[in-house]
Amino acid sequence: GNSVTQMEGPVTLSEEAFLTINCTYTATGYPSLFWYVQYPGEGLQLLLKATKADDKGSNKGFEATYRKETTSFHLEKGSVQVSDSAVYFCALSDGGANSKLTFGKGITLSVRP
Amino acid sequence: DADVTQTPRNRITKTGKRIMLECSQTKGHDRMYWYRQDPGLGLRLIYYSFDVKDINKGEISDGYSVSRQAQAKFSLSLESAIPNQTALYFCATSASGRSTDTQYFGPGTRLTVL
């Protein structure tokens, strides 16, 4: 079956540090890949997505590239801010008319001033 | 106003009680989902509905039931709540079945079963 594996957390960084959050996946076919973010006390919201190999999703300074050869979709940001403190979830959708999302366990990012 | 709303936002109940969590959406989406979030486990799908007449079990449906009262409303029931159902519950919606379609989440209901 499908699965998403995220690096263990939590992660604590200083403001303006470089961020990488690793995500690898197992899926049949050609999944679409997503990063969702959950700010404190809120529901999840889509951060970025990529639908095919070598696509790069980007939003709010975050980027992730769909790497089929390594089955990865790592999230990066060059300079984090305190407002980026949140829980980040990697997810995949396996495609087709009845596709559903499979989520990783999530990782908590804390950015200190 | 929020596009996906959940009521109640917080609920404390006792073992054996029946409880219903409600979800409403104004996005006009056909598809609705219920997830639970537990620390260290991510989000797990409980039930989903692709239209008003369609109900499907997710990976952890035991102990739960759902009702799709209208396109805009999807409720989750715990017939006899137990402490390991203490979790954060999210409703979500999406427009269609394309794998690229975004799911939109409500703010969550924090349920505690004593």
CA pseudo-torsion sign A28, B95, B102, A57: positive
Q: A51 vs B100: CB contact, 8 Å cut-off?
A: yes
Which tens digit of pLDDT belongs to each residue from A22-63? 999 999 878 899 999 999 988 999 999 999 999 999 999 999
Of A32, A89, A94, the CB nearest to B43: A89
Of B42, B44, B102, the CB nearest to A46: B102
Instruction: Kindly indicate the confidence band of residue B98, based on its pLDDT and cuts at 50, 70 and 90.
Output: low
| Span A19-23, average pLDDT | 97
**Residue A105: closest C-alpha in chain B:** B42
Of A31, A44, A93, the CB nearest to B105: A44
pLDDT value at residue A80: 97
Shortest distance between the Cα of A81 and any Cα of chain B, in A, equals 23
Lowest-pLDDT choice from A25-29, A37-41, A106-110, B25-29: A25-29
Q: B99 vs A96: CB contact, 8 Å cut-off?
A: yes
| Span B82-105, average pLDDT | 87
CA B30/CA B72 separation, integer angstroms:
8
pLDDT value at residue A5: 96
Instruction: Kindly indicate the confidence band of residue B41, based on its pLDDT and cuts at 50, 70 and 90.
Output: confident
Q: State whether residue A28 sits within 8 Å of chain B by CB.
A: no
pLDDT value at residue B40: 81
pLDDT value at residue A94: 77
Please report, in angstroms and rounded to a whole number, the separation of the first and last CA atoms in chain B. Answer: 33
DSSP B80-112: S--GGG-EEEEEEEESSS-TTPPPEE---EEEE
Percent of chain B with pLDDT over 70: 95
Mean pLDDT of all residues belonging to chain A = 93
Q: A99 vs B99: CB contact, 8 Å cut-off?
A: yes
Lowest-pLDDT choice from A23-27, B46-50, B95-99: B95-99
CA A87/CA A14 separation, integer angstroms:
16
Instruction: Kindly indicate the confidence band of residue A96, based on its pLDDT and cuts at 50, 70 and 90.
Output: low
Q: State whether residue A7 sits within 8 Å of chain B by CB.
A: no
Of A42, A45, A94, the CB nearest to B99: A94
Q: State whether residue A97 sits within 8 Å of chain B by CB.
A: yes
Instruction: Kindly indicate the confidence band of residue A97, based on its pLDDT and cuts at 50, 70 and 90.
Output: low
pLDDT value at residue A69: 94
